[in-house]
Chain A
Amino acid sequence: MNTTEQPNTTDPVVARAVDLFKQYGTDDNAVIALNHINVEFKRGELTAIMGPSGSGKSTLMHCMAGLDTPTSGDVFVEGLEVSSMNQRQLTKLRRKEIGFIFQSFNLVPTLTAKENILLPLQIAKRPIDMDWFNKVVDVVGLANRLDHRPSQLSGGQQQRVACARAMMEQPSVIFADEPTGNLDSRSSREVLSFLQQSVREYGQSIVMVTHDPRAASFADRVLVLADGSITNDMQHPTYAEILEVFADREEEEGEEEQRAEGEAR
């Protein structure tokens, strides 16, 4: 094994982006999604990335998780350079260092809840710690739903299974892409409190993309993106503080639009 691939677990920073630049299309059609971003995600924190559609928040997360390759700049997870990894290394990274929770379609429909939760460990042929499994299942409150297929579970339950699956691996960092995007407010609260709990009690690091200020208010830290750049970086903001940031932004945008329309006339 290459020594550079050994993760450094004592580093307080679990994931880092250096001068990250991502551009879609070329020349006239070029759209800049990430404009030279530098950011560090702390170990044992729940970080929320916010921003309007097209702000680049999803792109940032996808680049961080090795799902997308940046045009330039580097991504490190646990000190490993993700942006230069090949498929084999990426697979290994996903097995050991990264967990995922998506907005929808998180589960393999042919497998039961329990099988879904254990799937990553089995795929990686890692031993299963049943104590940890019972604990995780207990925390997400799914103990009596383990033999159900995803189609027999509600959206909230499915998402909690997805959380349990991500937790089961005890990865260095969990990336959650709009985990509450398809849920009603009660289910959202359940999922978010579980995420919060896993950070507080088990020291899990989580990076979550959301456009919902209510969800972001559960986070330890909130990053706000606009037009490919980080515009705000708030520690433990309240719901009101977050709303305020967006209210300002909307006003600005409204004014800009009016100006543009006026010029067009």
Chain B
Amino acid sequence: MIRIGLRDAKAHLHRFVMSIIAIALGVAFVIGAFCFRGMLNDQVSQMMATNADADVYVRSTIVSDKHEPNTEVKFSDYESLPVSLLKDVRDVPGVTYAGDAQMLTNIVLVGKNGTAVTTMGPPTMGIGVSKGSWRGAKLTQGHWPEADNQIVLHSGAAEQSGLKVGDTTKVVFPDGPRDMKVVGTFTTDTAQLGAVIVGLDPSLVKHYVEQEGESTDEASRFTVYGNATTPLNEQQQQQLADRINKALPKDSHAIAVTGDSLRNETTKTTQDALGFIQPLILIFAAIALFVGSFIIANTFTMIVRESMRGYALLRSIGASPAQVFMTVVVQAIVLGLIGSVIGVFLGWGMLELIAKGMGSMGMPLSGSPVPSVADIIIGVLVGIVVTLIGASLPARRAALAPPIQAMNETVNPEKPVRRRGVIGLIMIVLGALAWWFAYALATTGTKDTAFSAFDGLHAGWPLGVGAGLVVIGVIVIGPAIVTPVSKVLGWIPEHMFSVTGRLATRNIARSKRRTANTAAALFVGLAIVSCIGVVASSVKVSLHDLVDNNLNANYVLKSASMTTSLPKKAIEEVKQLDDVDKSARLETLMGVKYDNKMVMPMTTSADLFESISRIRDSQGDPVQAFKQGEAIVGKTMAEDHEWKLGQTITLKAENVVVDEQATAQAQQQYMADVQARVQAAQQKAQQLAAAGDLAGAQAQGQEAQKIMEDAQHVDPATLVRTTKKVVRENVRIGAIANEALYNDSMFLPASIADKLTPQAMRLTQQMYVLAKPGTDLETLHKQLTDIAKPFYTIAVLDRDQYKSSLSETVNQVLAILYALLALSVVIAIFGIVNTLALNVSERTKEIGLLRAIGTSRGQIRGMLAIEAVIMSVFGTLLGIIVGVGAGFVIRAVFSNQGMTTLSIPWATLLLFLALSIVVGLLSSVSPASRALKQPVLDAVKSE
């Protein structure tokens, strides 16, 4: 029986092409989903091994208040360590290097061509490096930085900037650009995902870290190497850690742990953060496999029907139903295996392409996209299982063929679809209720529902449950609504092409399940895309509306990177311009807490609320309050913290300030130290002179002089001592703004802000500029760009540019989604082609009859084209309706989080609809040709 199956498989191979493609695509998606994750994981762990390559880390044992309760305590959740402990660590035998690595993430490297080196997303990092401080970094040219004005570049950074050893360039620091000389280049074993890594002198890094208000007396952790060239294995790491732990003072609250333990944790955290990509790909894998199994079922239905006489013969000569079943199943296994294997390679190739693409977009990957054995096994298994599911029903039909099968064309009438209709309807209604509930939760507030069980429930829950119910409900109800929908959709073709239109419309309703399943593939893909389309469009329009309605500024100055501030000098220069009427910068105060929770208050000038961006809806008068030294709080923020108008709240800020006393002491100490050494040298010189060693005496004299000179040149930053200072300030809430732009914000007047947070701990990302009435805007624009130019990191945006800068991310998300949609449409086309092919093969006689009574070839093609178009429009329409519905509810639920305006992208949706018609027309071409290839005679012959 297996032999018969194999022989049948060989004979039917050409009919399996479409099934194989479908299975291969599905498996490719599955492989892609798993391997993409594998590739990223690989990349992340490789980067960890290079970038966090210490043998031992020393950390504090005290959990800081950064730690979120009820979560695992991570490395970053511990307090910092006093740098003074380093001494104890360095003395431990076996320690070749111990240090506190520090890093700047708010610098910008200016490339060879004089423009800032920017990336699609990866950061620019300034790392304090000296010989031995980073084992994973290998110097390829030049030397490590030895002075503040020297830098070394990572190979990736050198490539992106075009800079070479010996070049002089600028690096933009928070206080402005500095001239720097490239003194070396280095490589790491792994690519750095496009990050621009600049090695700086450690003291320079320290200087800027202090400027940012962070203490340099403390470090989050120490890096310890036990060998200058080769990493220690886990056991050696543990031994070194044990030795260090013994040497650490009992009251230091510090502990040494192995490097591996930190690497494992960070790797896991990063990988979890990237995990969202996998489910997204898996959704499309599911669509592909669903269509695949469906195509297989169709294909086998055709094959089984055509071979029915053969099966009847096998049965009549004594084959058991199980044996007949096997002949079909064997074919399915062969088919599944071929499809899966192709799919594995296809998925692998897809990933190689993605890796290449990311590389050319400036994110080189050194992680391996090669699927693991487990991935391959999963992929092949999924492919075969899906094939078997698809083939099982037709195989059963074959097995149950009565030994004498009277072949007749009349297809058994379908089981009624009413039950599915009722179940589907119930699910849709429940889903809609869940959506309505989510909407109610979001609009009336979650604190106080009629049912205490739901109090505090986030609206996202019913929203998700509702979406799931509606989507599944629509798939379930599908067959039941095929007839009415085909009547409605068939209205136009029936009036345009009366006969073919009517035939097509009725044909659609003949196998309702098949039609509905075919349409379902398009439905799911389009539902996802239209939903996200509505949400994205709403976000975009809301943002644009905000700018149009709420912002009067003519120009916006924006910092080029998320972590850098607008340089103060530039801000001052802009303020001085004659053409500038009003300007307001938004400064975010870092490290301010209320009730031990981070709040990110901003400060600005009253001009913002008075003339640049008025608050039109508020409790209390915002301008008045702000001028009186009171805070303005956004509505959402006030609700979250349960603040009321007029309430006085206490804000706490923890600042690092220069400890004047300690600094003076350190300087004195240093001077005393220098003096002592000079004296010692002079004494020695005198002694030597007395002993007659004149040369020696001279040398010592020079030594003494050198010590004096060095002391004069010493970087005063190294002698600054800092201290932590906690500031508490009371502020009265003078206004609560109900304005989308400010819903999540808190504004403090300068008087309070200055007391809370020093300038260094503020981040100024934006500045609004309002021109004087009657000013020539082009002149102003030129003046602004002239100011911005030397700072490299300031973008001057006019209103339109500002708007598009706000929606840039939204557009990127949409682009990715449309690419995925394109793939699901390709799969859906296969589905329609296959369904039509099955329909045609079932209706061979009928089509022959139509031809015999004078239907032209064009009319047959037209009839099948209309059928295909109705099918694809059916799926597309359902998808658009459900997707827009979901988008509508999501928009309403999150309206106070920036989606103030509902915008349905009608043009895009209409385009989808038009495309679905094209898809239908295209899909019908090959089945129609197959139908016409059949001679009329064969179709109507009674034998």
Contacts and interface: CB of A to CB of B under 8 A. Distances in A.
A110 B506 contact: yes
A120 B854 CA distance: 6
Given A91-B854, A91-B856, A177-B942, A67 B937 contact: yes
Nearest to A106: B849
Interface in B847-898: 849-857, 859
B507 interface: yes
A107 B409 CA distance: 12
A130 to B, nearest CB: 17
A181 interface: yes
Given A110-B510, A122-B498, A62 B853 contact: no
Given A94-B854, A124-B854, A108 B942 contact: no
B409 A67 contact: no
Interface stretch (A96-104, A184-192, A240-248, A257-265): A96-104
A120 B845 contact: no
Given A67-B936, A100-B940, A105-B409, A123 B853 contact: yes
Contact of A165 (B506, B851, B853): B853
A262 B853 CA distance: 50
A94 B853 contact: yes
B503 interface: yes
A103 B941 CA distance: 8
A7 interface: no
Nearest to B856: A91
A67 B852 contact: yes
A110 B410 CA distance: 12
Contact of A119 (B499, B851, B937): B499
B846 interface: yes
Nearest to B852: A100
Contacts of A177: 940, 942
B512 to A, nearest CB: 13
Contact of A62 (B410, B845, B937): B937
Interface residues of A, number: 32
Nearest to A165: B853
Contacts of B941: 58
A139 interface: no
A57 to B, nearest CB: 13
Interface residues of B, number: 27
Interface in A117-148: 119-120, 122-124
Contacts of A91: 851, 854-857
A68 B510 CA distance: 31
A68 B849 contact: no
A12 interface: no
Contacts of A67: 852, 935-937, 940
A103 B853 contact: no
A140 B294 CA distance: 45
A111 B940 CA distance: 18
A201 B502 CA distance: 34
Interface in B394-433: 409-410
Contacts of B854: 91, 94-95, 120, 123-124
A95 B853 CA distance: 7
Interface centre among B503, B854, B941 (most CB of A within 10 A): B854
A181 B942 contact: yes
Nearest to A177: B942
A61 to B, nearest CB: 11
B940 A110 contact: no
A59 B859 CA distance: 27
Contact of A102 (B499, B503, B942): B942
A4 interface: no
A109 interface: yes
A255 B510 CA distance: 54
A67 B850 CA distance: 13
A93 to B, nearest CB: 8
A67 B851 CA distance: 10
A74 to B, nearest CB: 19
Contacts of A115: 502
A107 B941 CA distance: 14
A216 B851 CA distance: 28
Contact of B942 (A94, A103, A110, A111): A103
A87 B858 CA distance: 11
A78 interface: no
A58 B942 CA distance: 10
Interface string B810-824: 000000000000000
B76 to A, nearest CB: 69
Contacts of B936: 67
B853 A105 contact: no
A99 B510 CA distance: 27
Nearest to B942: A103
Given A67-B852, A67-B936, A109 B498 contact: no
A23 B503 CA distance: 37
A142 B507 CA distance: 25
Given A68-B937, A109-B846, A110-B506, A100 B853 contact: yes
Interface string A79-91: 0000000011001
A102 B506 contact: no
Contacts of A62: 937
A45 interface: no
Contact of B849 (A58, A95, A102): A102
A68 B939 CA distance: 12
A100 B937 CA distance: 12
B192 to A, nearest CB: 65
Interface string B371-415: 000000000000000000000000000000000000001100000
Interface in B497-526: 498-499, 502-503, 506-507, 510
A124 B500 CA distance: 11
A178 B942 contact: yes
B940 A102 contact: yes
Interface string B710-726: 00000000000000000
Interface string B921-943: 00000000000000111001110
Given A58-B941, A88-B856, A105-B940, 12 more contacts: A88-B857, A91-B854, A91-B856, A107-B849, A108-B846, A110-B510, A115-B502, A122-B498, A123-B854, A123-B856, A151-B410, A181-B942
Sort A-B residue pairs by CB-CB distance and give the 7 closest, nearest first.
A110-B506, A95-B854, A103-B942, A94-B854, A67-B937, A91-B856, A122-B499
30 contacts: A62-B937, A87-B857, A88-B856, A91-B855, A94-B853, A95-B854, A100-B852, A100-B940, A102-B849, A102-B852, A102-B940, A104-B942, A105-B849, A106-B849, A108-B846, A109-B846, A110-B507, A110-B510, A111-B506, A115-B502, A120-B853, A122-B498, A122-B499, A123-B499, A123-B855, A123-B859, A124-B854, A151-B410, A177-B942, A181-B942
Interface of A: 58, 62, 67-68, 87-88, 91, 94-95, 99-100, 102-111, 115, 119-120, 122-124, 151, 165, 177-178, 181
Interface of B: 409-410, 498-499, 502-503, 506-507, 510, 845-846, 849-857, 859, 935-937, 940-942
